[in-house]
A and B are shown apart, each in its own frame.
Chain A
Amino acid sequence: QSVLTQPPSVSGAPGQRVTISCTGSSSNIGADYDVHWYQQLPGTAPKLLIYANTDRPSGVPDRFSGSKSGTSASLAITGLQAEDAADYYCQSYDNSLSAYVFGTGTKVTVL
């Protein structure tokens, strides 16, 4: 069982804005560990989308943005496009488990 909880699915029409939450606890996100986000297109390896809560690697469109507050983090996708249909995972470190942890994953559907 993952210690980071995400909604199983979110959906939106092209052009809309969707957000994905990632809820943790005082031993991971709340302990000030960075949150990273990954996009996994069907049948492919995950790809780093957001690192250190808010930063984008080069090549990632600025339609993707991240935020963090307290024991939670969020990923926002603005101007939703068909190519954004994928699974998204948050990730952090948990000091009670002494382990890197992933969120439960969220499937984004573009209507």
Chain B
Amino acid sequence: EVQLVESGGGLVQPGGSLRLSCAASGFTVNDNYMSWVRQAPGKGLEWVSVIYSGGSTFYADSVKGRFTISRDNSKNTLYLQMSSLRADDTAVYYCARMILAVKYAFDIWGQGTTATVSS
């Protein structure tokens, strides 16, 4: 079964760091485009970052220089390293796959993991 499972969320103080993980099954992370999308409480969806199959990475302006997306082929896992966290980074973070078959729409989503930035 094709599936994504996020973990690593929690409560962190402003200025702190957190690393989110997204374990994939049923497909290979390295062979696909993978993104992180977040949703602040009561708000809409916001794209955060993408890593393409070739390894290129891109970020939303709101997180550029603070967040780093990466992947581990041996663990078939996607990561999001978040640092210098601010209160407005509080959100549910979803990982999602993007494939050519659906013109790189986000076709598979994880269940989400919640990051709360608060003192």
Chain A residues proximal to chain B, CB less than 8 Å: 2, 34, 36, 38, 40, 45-48, 51-52, 55, 57, 89, 91, 97-105
Contact = CB atoms under 8 A, between A and B. Distances in A.
Q: Is the interface of A mostly helix, strand, loop or mixed?
A: strand
B112 A99 contact: no
Given A38-B106, A89-B44, A102-B44, A45 B94 contact: yes
Size category, B interface: 20 to 34
B14 interface: no
B60 A105 contact: no
B103 A34 contact: yes
A51 B61 contact: no
Contacts of A97: 61
Contacts of A102: 37, 44-47
